[in-house]
Amino acid sequence: MNEQRGVKILGWGQALPERVLTNQDLERMVETSDEWIVSRTGIRERRIAAAETAASDLAVVAAREALQRAEVAPAQIDLIIVATVTPDMAFPATACLVQSALAAGRAAAFDLEAGCSGFLYALATAREFIAGGTYDHVLVVGVDLLSKITDWQDRNTCVLFGDGAGAVVLGPAAPGQGILSTYLGCDGAGGELLCLPAGGSRQPLTPENLAAGRQYIHMNGPEVFKFAVRIMGEAAVKALERAGLELQDVTYLVPHQANLRIIDAAARRLKLPPERVLVNLDRYGNMSSASIPVALAEAADAGRFHPGDILVLVGFGAGLTWGAAAVRW
């Protein structure tokens, strides 16, 4: 069997809506307080997309930035994968809309849905296509506009989420460079802990379902919290093991941004001090599939990564799902 090719991140980009919604704004909308939100989650403000903005709009902005940075033309993209739980519509796939907007005529395109783990599932999928030699350039976008599926009267959920998009362009590299390992998992028995019940074939958008608010995110926060605290550390360690790396090899942890307490628990498990952990949830909240690629793009733009740095990307989400990747920058 031929040796598999290495796969690396050639470019990165992000897109965030302009409108900022602060905890003080939320105090005027539901019975909550800045103190509660900051102490329980670490979130101070989040970005909210305009009424006319959809997932593909943000995805295209992030994708263009990533392509430019990678010096890859749209015509060179072989495949587009968009990870999202908030597609423009049920079909066609948002990836197809992105393909058209970018004029990436050669690219195959599909959406992938793994809750907040979506970006890591997409990264792992894209890596296989390139490592095996099927494709050379794959665009991976994580985009979510959770504000569109949030019940703005439910304080249990509405303080947590924000909108955004992050993208990376992947291409071939020497073996041992770039994405060193990936690790994905799922516990479907926990699906009801975090779901959007209506709008699919089980509970179509009938007037009854709409009246009952089943078109919004439903979440058992404490149960998801317990799961997340356990799985983030476990998944990160698994990805490191698969890459033949030790805890002390890690330069930066790039975690899904759901709750600072969950991130802190993962950092403790990996024995990492705060300066080695990327955090942006204070400014953006939980952007689901976009959280990890936006954190990655921000740190890369700020020049925080140096060649040879080891990054561990790790996330969890609806499904329940989880994923991690070890990356040599």
Q: Which residues bind ligand ACO (CB under 6 A)?
A: 32, 36-37, 40-41, 115-116, 155-156, 159, 194, 217, 219, 221-222, 224-225, 228, 258-259, 286, 288, 317-318
DSSP-assigned states of every residue in 193-236: GEE--SSSSSS---HHHHHTTTTS-EE-HHHHHHHHHHHHHHHH
Backbone angles phi, psi at 6, to 5 degrees: -75, 160
Minimum distance from residue 159 beta carbon to ligand ACO (Å): 4
Shortest-Cβ-distance residue relative to ligand ACO: 221
256 counts as catalytic: yes
Q: Environment class of residue 149 by beta-carbon count within 10 Å: exposed (0-12), middle (13-18) or buried (19+)?
A: middle
Q: In what order do the strands lie in the sheet with 163-173?
A: 108-112, 79-83, 138-145, 163-173, 6-15, 178-186, 321-328, 310-317, 252-255
Q: Which is nearer to ligand ACO, 34 or 128 (CB)?
A: 34
- 231 contact partners, CB below 8 Å, separation of at least 6: 185, 316, 320, 322
Minimum distance from residue 288 beta carbon to ligand ACO (Å): 5
Q: Which is nearer to ligand ACO, 67 or 116 (CB)?
A: 116
User: 308: how many CB neighbours lie within 10 A of its CB?
Assistant: 9
**285 near 255, Cβ under 8 Å?**
no
User: 41: how many CB neighbours lie within 10 A of its CB?
Assistant: 22
Q: Which is nearer to ligand ACO, 56 or 259 (CB)?
A: 259
- Choosing from 116, 137, 158, 259, which is the catalytic residue? 116
Minimum distance from residue 153 beta carbon to ligand ACO (Å): 11
- Choosing from 23, 96, 158, 286, which is the catalytic residue? 286
195 counts as catalytic: no
- At 38 the three-state DSSP class reads helix
96 counts as catalytic: no
Minimum distance from residue 320 beta carbon to ligand ACO (Å): 9
Q: Which is nearer to ligand ACO, 219 or 245 (CB)?
A: 219
Minimum distance from residue 115 beta carbon to ligand ACO (Å): 4
Q: Which is nearer to ligand ACO, 65 or 144 (CB)?
A: 144
Q: Which is nearer to ligand ACO, 128 or 151 (CB)?
A: 151
Minimum distance from residue 258 beta carbon to ligand ACO (Å): 3
SS3 content of the chain, % helix, strand, coil (to 5): 40, 25, 35
Q: Give the whole-angstrom CA distance, residue 98 versus residue 57.
A: 8
Q: Environment class of residue 282 by beta-carbon count within 10 Å: exposed (0-12), middle (13-18) or buried (19+)?
A: middle
Q: Which is nearer to ligand ACO, 98 or 229 (CB)?
A: 229
Minimum distance from residue 163 beta carbon to ligand ACO (Å): 12
Structure tokens at 69: 């940075």
Taken as a whole, the chain contains a residue count of 329
- Choosing from 23, 96, 158, 256, which is the catalytic residue? 256
**Annotated catalytic sites, by residue?**
116, 256, 286
